[in-house]
């Protein structure tokens, strides 16, 4: 629906990680895009994505569901044996194991329900789940290969009469251990982040 870019530090409003800027994405309400949409795309690096979305309105209640999946090759290259992809990397960037050449895969689903209490207020509840395989993430201890992980999330919101109250949470949980490419050791990440405003 809308994307806002807020440049510069914004930790006081958006938390400790908002030191360079914030991208605020506002999604479209289900009642504004009723019906069914099927999306099938293909692109470079043998990437394929497909999803189906359905939205409907019943009186004051509107809802949206979505299911989909993605698969594609990664742009990530191995840094084993000082085989760096660009200048500027040092011995600290050397990795002990190769990055996986398997395709990145994800499956995802979500549901959102909006209920209009009256003409000036509404409540929203939504949540979703994504399962990812073979993605590479950058952490404070170097690059990490995700073998298989789940990323659940949820949000509850009230908006009306000049007040906005929201709770949201997201998680990252390993189904299979992650691999620290710098050391070859297994890592386990089972975390939830909770926020209220």
At 39-51, the pLDDT tens digits run 999 999 899 999 9
Give tens-digit pLDDT for 152-184.
Answer: 999 999 999 999 999 999 999 999 999 999 999
**Are the CB atoms for 150 and 170 separated by under 8 Å?**
no
Q: Which residue has the higher pLDDT, 108 or 84?
A: 108
Q: What percent of the chain has pLDDT over 70?
A: 100
Q: What is the pLDDT of residue 11?
A: 76
Q: What is the pLDDT of residue 119?
A: 92
**Phi, psi dihedral angles at 102 (to 5 degrees):** -65, 155
Report, as an integer, the average pLDDT of 25-34.
Answer: 88
Report, as an integer, the average pLDDT of 136-147.
Answer: 92
Per DSSP, the three-state class of 34 is: coil
* Sequence-ordered list of residues with C-beta below 8 angstroms from that of 145, at least 6 positions apart, any chain: 97, 99, 100, 134, 135, 136, 178, 179, 181
**Are the CB atoms for 156 and 194 separated by under 8 Å?**
no
């Amino acid at each position: 629906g809308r994307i806002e870019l807020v440049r510069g530090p914004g930790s006081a409003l958006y938390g400790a990680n908002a030191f360079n800027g914030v991208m605020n994405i506002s999604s479209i309400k289900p009642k504004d895009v009723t019906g069914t949409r099927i999306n099938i795309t293909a692109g470079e690096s043998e990437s394929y994505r497909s999803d189906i979305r359905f939205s409907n309105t019943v009186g004051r209640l509107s809802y949206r569901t979505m299911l989909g999946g993605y698969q594609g090759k990664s742009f990530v290259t191995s840094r084993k044996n000082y085989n760096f992809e660009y200048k500027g990397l040092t011995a600290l960037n050397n990795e002990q194991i190769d990055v996986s050449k398997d395709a990145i895969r994800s499956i995802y689903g979500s549901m959102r329900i909006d209920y209009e209490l009256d003409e000036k207020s509404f409540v929203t509840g939504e949540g979703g789940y994504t399962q990812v395989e073979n993605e590479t993430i950058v952490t404070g201890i170097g690059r990490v290969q995700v073998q298989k992980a789940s990323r659940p999330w949820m949000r509850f919101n009230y908006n009306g009469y000049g007040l906005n109250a929201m709770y949201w949470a997201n998680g990252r949980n390993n189904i299979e251990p992650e691999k620290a490419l710098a050391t070859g050791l297994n890592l386990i990440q089972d975390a939830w982040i909770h926020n209220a405003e």
